[in-house]
Chains A and B, each alone.
Chain A
Amino acid sequence: MDLPLLVASEHSELLDSEVSIVLLLTVAAAVAVVARRIRLPYTVALVVVGLGLAFLPSTFIEIEISADLILAVLVPPLLFEATLHISWGRLRRDLFAVLLLALAGTLIGAFVVGGLVNGLVDGVPWAAAVAVGALISATDPVAVIAFFRSIGVPKRLTILVEGESLFNDGVAFVVFIIALAAAGPEATFSLGDAVGQFIIDGFGGLAVGLVLGYVVSSLILKNLDDHLIETVVTVALAFGSYLLAEEFGAIFDLADVHLSGILAVVAAGLTVGNIGLRNTSPTTRLTLENFWEFLAFVVNSLVFLLLGLRIEISELWDRADAILVAVVAIQLTRLVVVYGLGTLHGLIQPERKIPRSYQHVMFWGGLRGAISVALALSLVAEESNLGADVVSTLQVMTFGVVLFTLLVQGLTIERLIKRLGLSVRVEERIEQQRRQARIYAQQAGLDELDRLRDQGVLFRDLYESMAGLYRGELARDRDQLGDHLRRYPELETDMYIQARADTLRAERSALQDAARRGLISVDVLNELTAEINDHLAALEFIEGDARQGEIVVTEEGDGV
């Protein structure tokens, strides 16, 4: 495109790309504003606007999309941010269910969808069909989790959905790579080799991420107290773990070894989220959370908008038959995976049986999003063994599936959750927080008045007058909070958990302060901090347990 502000000699591909990125970010920001105003999930709005971008002239936004750009630059931050918030304490209680759904579910999805696509869509060879089956089997929880947060659902359901999604991203990517390697005209395929590669890829990738994540968490995040440097280190970790795993063979001269970069990022993020963030200061934690939230927002936006640029809208219509096959295939597969594997899991682990109502949400909430789109975009005809027609068909099918799940399932999942009675009283909870926040702020104001009086800055009579007003407001708000809790007594447990967690964190800060002042040794600090961390983990355990519901029996099982 023309850049009137720049002289011709200054034109470069880099500047053109920069202008394109600025335009895309501007569009993303505008979409976010509108989506918030009309209460539409952001990813749903993005996918619609991404479609609209397809109408723009091809020269308007120029970004060269390569597999490396998508996989090495855009995918790691998406996964790293998603894993940061997952509590290992909660995840491990349902790890078996999560791994069963992610591993067996994705494999079933890849082969069943692949078989249907291969049989029903012209021109898609078997291996390429399995590749598309794998990439559209990877669920993306972003849109669903946004709903979960807004209407409030049991934490266990959130963990099941998020956990399955994270691990099936990794599994889908490994299957995708193996299938693509087998898709070339001269490629040979051996089941034994593929299984071996799958195991080495998966476990090797996890090991790389765990080791790097642990080193960063225990050496740097624990010992350094500089939020900027610590943020930079996590950025290096997210991209570095991906690169080290992907380039492991080349770096260590093991030509045949390839490890999963995606699983390395997942493991690194889980380690930092569960070990590193526990050992950092509140400032660093806040900085890290804000930074990664921002980066994930930017990347999510770019992925959807880039897809819009890649796909011609007429292609969607021309390949409606292929999209229909893919949509039906993923629904059938999801049905088998969620209810079939859910039932199998209940037989193996009856005490952790997934309630039927959760299974309904997991089935209909199995949306596809940025990772499927990113993997599809990474298919570049010149770089893959596939022809341009096959690449185009696979991308159009993926986008069609993502579009369907986001627009149809994404816009109806909220109603389903409410109908199943899985939403909790979010409005009442927000009202409780609002009243608590007022009290908290007024108390801070009163403390400041005391300080001003003590320093002699404020005349006593003026202090008495102002403090009297503050105390009156505080008393009124405390009464209102009391009324609110009497009306909705179930909110009290949340309030208790929050207060108890705050007091434990205050105890931990006091210990760190005591160690800094030399009152206690580092050994004592570590011992007592570990004890408090156990209690904080216990609170998460208890909270997750309580959210499963009160007592007794439903058709899904027992529970106090």
Chain B
Amino acid sequence: MSDVVCAVRGGPGSYQTRLAALQHGADRDVDVHFLSVVDPAAYEPLHEGEQHAIRAEMAWRDLALARATAARADLTDARFTVAVRVGELVDTVADYAKEMSAGAILIGSPRAAADAALADGGTEHFGERLRARASVAVMVVGTGD
């Protein structure tokens, strides 16, 4: 079984995405690699100190929230790492999946579960682009009501 990469933003719905990733990892006994991607257009104009602080704070947040999610869901054996990368979204997630030798990428969708399942069938162009670029399975978690 290969590891899974989970791209998160930290917004509403990220809890469900994180939880699904940890559950997936625990069920298959694989590592989960949480990835936050920073938009370079917003990041690059900042000075070095701020850039460093953003990467550090994102890693802190992802680590703290992943630990809390795992503890709450009683998934204390789940193994995970966190990483922060700057770059174009699709390329960065795909490259990171390759770097981690991941067999799947998991992302959240603001739509409800049923819609997200349909989206996974190919209607969502982001998922499609990611799948084409990364050549691995892309799973979409519906995080809407």
A492-B68, A496-B61, A560-B36 given; A549·B9 CB < 8 A = yes
Which residues in chain B, 1-38, are within 8 Å of chain A measured between CB atoms? Answer: 7-17, 19, 36-38
Residue from A352, A538, A552 in contact with B57 in the complex, judged by beta carbons closer than 8 Å: A538
Is A490's CB under 8 angstroms from B107's CB? no
B39 contacts the other chain (Cβ, under 8 Å)? yes
Interface string of B104-145 (1 = CB under 8 A from A): 000111100000000100001111010000000000100100
Is B16's CB under 8 angstroms from A489's CB? yes
Closest chain B CB from A381 CB (angstroms): 48
Residue from A349, A545, A554 in contact with B110 in the complex, judged by beta carbons closer than 8 Å: A554
A489-B16, A531-B49, A560-B107 given; A542·B11 CB < 8 A = no
Is A534's CB under 8 angstroms from B110's CB? no
Is A550's CB under 8 angstroms from B109's CB? yes
Is B124's CB under 8 angstroms from A553's CB? yes
A476 contacts the other chain (Cβ, under 8 Å)? no
Is B11's CB under 8 angstroms from A549's CB? yes
Is A534's CB under 8 angstroms from B15's CB? no
Closest chain B CB from A42 CB (angstroms): 29
Is A551's CB under 8 angstroms from B53's CB? no
Residues of chain B lying within 8 A (CB to CB) of residue A496: 61, 64-65
> A535–B55 Cα gap in the complex (Å)?
10
Is A539's CB under 8 angstroms from B57's CB? yes
Residues of chain B lying within 8 A (CB to CB) of residue A552: 107-110, 119, 124, 126-127, 140
Is B42's CB under 8 angstroms from A541's CB? yes
A548 contacts the other chain (Cβ, under 8 Å)? yes
B50 contacts the other chain (Cβ, under 8 Å)? yes
Closest chain A CB from B89 CB (angstroms): 6
Residue from A352, A489, A538, A560 in contact with B9 in the complex, judged by beta carbons closer than 8 Å: A560
Is B50's CB under 8 angstroms from A534's CB? yes
Residues of chain A lying within 8 A (CB to CB) of residue B108: 550-552
> A486–B90 Cα gap in the complex (Å)?
32
Is A548's CB under 8 angstroms from B9's CB? yes
* Nearest neighbor of A351 in chain B, beta-carbon distance: B41
Residues of chain B lying within 8 A (CB to CB) of residue A542: 10, 54, 57-58, 61
B78 contacts the other chain (Cβ, under 8 Å)? no
Is A349's CB under 8 angstroms from B10's CB? no
Residues of chain A lying within 8 A (CB to CB) of residue B17: 550-551
Residues of chain B lying within 8 A (CB to CB) of residue A349: 41
Is A546's CB under 8 angstroms from B126's CB? no
> A541–B58 Cα gap in the complex (Å)?
10
A537-B50, A538-B57, A545-B9 given; A490·B15 CB < 8 A = yes
Closest chain B CB from A346 CB (angstroms): 13
How many positions in chain A have a CB within 8 Å of any CB in the partner chain?
36
Residues of chain A lying within 8 A (CB to CB) of residue B140: 551-552
> A496–B69 Cα gap in the complex (Å)?
12
Which residues in chain B, 55-78, are within 8 Å of chain A measured between CB atoms? Answer: 56-58, 60-61, 64-65, 68-69, 72
Is B50's CB under 8 angstroms from A550's CB? no
> A492–B16 Cα gap in the complex (Å)?
12
Residues of chain B lying within 8 A (CB to CB) of residue A493: 10-12, 14-15, 61, 65
Is B42's CB under 8 angstroms from A93's CB? yes
Central interface residue in B40, B57, B60, B110, by most chain A CB within 10 Å: B57
> A497–B10 Cα gap in the complex (Å)?
10
Interface string of A518-556 (1 = CB under 8 A from B): 000000000000110011011101100111111111100
Residues of chain B lying within 8 A (CB to CB) of residue A550: 8-9, 11-14, 17, 108-110, 143
Central interface residue in A349, A424, A551, by most chain B CB within 10 Å: A551
> A302–B60 Cα gap in the complex (Å)?
48
Is B127's CB under 8 angstroms from A553's CB? yes
Which residues in chain A, 476-498, are within 8 Å of chain B measured between CB atoms? Answer: 486, 489-490, 492-493, 496-497
A558 contacts the other chain (Cβ, under 8 Å)? yes
A490-B15, A492-B15, A550-B13 given; A537·B39 CB < 8 A = no
A-B residue pairs in contact (CB < 8 Å), sample of 11: A490-B15, A492-B65, A493-B11, A496-B64, A534-B53, A545-B10, A545-B11, A552-B107, A558-B126, A560-B8, A560-B37
What residues of chain A have their CB less than 8 Å away from a CB belonging to chain B?
92-93, 349, 351-352, 424, 486, 489-490, 492-493, 496-497, 500, 530-531, 534-535, 537-539, 541-542, 545-554, 558-560
Query: Told that A352-B39, A545-B38, A560-B89 touch, could you supply 10 new A-B pairs with CB distance under 8 A?
Result: A351-B41, A493-B14, A493-B65, A541-B54, A546-B10, A546-B14, A548-B9, A548-B11, A551-B17, A558-B90
